[in-house]
Structure 1
């Protein structure tokens, strides 16, 4: 197996504007991904995703840096770098969400890359890659369901 890039593509019955907001706005992100999202959709801005309660010893906080914010077609960020370091290819993974108009909705293409660039031993690489595959396989369907509820409520 390659363990280099994770790619997913899904059709969402919503406009690219709506899908862009759902993948780039903290109030929407926390509905389908982490328990808390702190970020500004502005290239270069730093933020974080939080899984769990901040007061718990089991909380999992992942720093991120927005790379591109081009509404309504592209939103990307680097994540997983040490909190005291600038995100670069050698210390972080790149997640890209591309929104492509498709019929009356949007094809969302998600790509996460940079696993090999981290320089991990093969067992660590496989672990992180497989963990992220499982995560996207859970969270992306949650994103589609959330958009469906969001659109239906308008």
Structure 2
């Protein structure tokens, strides 16, 4: 398995504009992915996301790369908070949204594992961790979108 890229697809029974809001607006994002999301939808603006609380709290830098409603949303994350996100210190995630069958096919791509300068073991461990994480969090999207009561 190539560990440089992680890819996932999921169908969501809502129009692309609804799905775009759910994957890009921090108020929505924190309801299905991190426990905290603080960023602006402005390319390059510094922000962060956080998982957990207390001693187990993990904070990661987050910076929007591009927001093209309702087609795609991309961001860099995992850099140290306060550091500018760039190749070599962060992961690049892209959500591509395609209208399909009365809903939206969401394609997620995450890259940057090999560009971090990590050993092969750390690349494999991080790729596996992110793979498990995206499987868990993306599976929450259809239910969250349905809870919004938005007509498709």
Partner of 1:115: 113
CA drift at 1:122: 0.9
CA offset digits 1:12-67 (Å, max 9, x no partner): 110100000000111111111011111111211121111122xx122110111110
Q: How does 1:125-144 map to 2 (within 5 A)?
A: 125-144=123-142
Shift of 1:2: 1.3
Give the 4+ runs in structure 1 shifted more than 6 A: none
Give the paired residue count. Answer: 152
CA distance in 2, matches of 1:83, 1:27: 20
Query: Aligned to 1:133, what secondary structure does the other structure show?
Result: helix
Deviation at 1:152, TM superposition (A): 5.4
Describe the shift of the 1:26–1:42 C-alpha distance in structure 2 as closer, same or farther (beyond 3 A).
Answer: same
SS at structure 1 position matched to 2:83: coil
1:96-135 deviation line (CA, Å, top 9, x unaligned): 0111111211111111011111110011111110000000
Using the size of structure 1 for normalisation, the TM-score is 0.93
Match of residue 61 from structure 2: 63
Report whether the alignment pairs 1:79 with 2:77.
yes
Kindly indicate whether residue 17 of structure 2 is the aligned counterpart of residue 17 of structure 1: yes
Unmatched segments (≥5 aa) in structure 2: none
CA distance in 2, matches of 1:99, 1:3: 24
* 1:31 partner SS: helix
Cα RMSD between the aligned structures? 1.5
Q: Residue in 2 aligned with 1:48?
A: 48
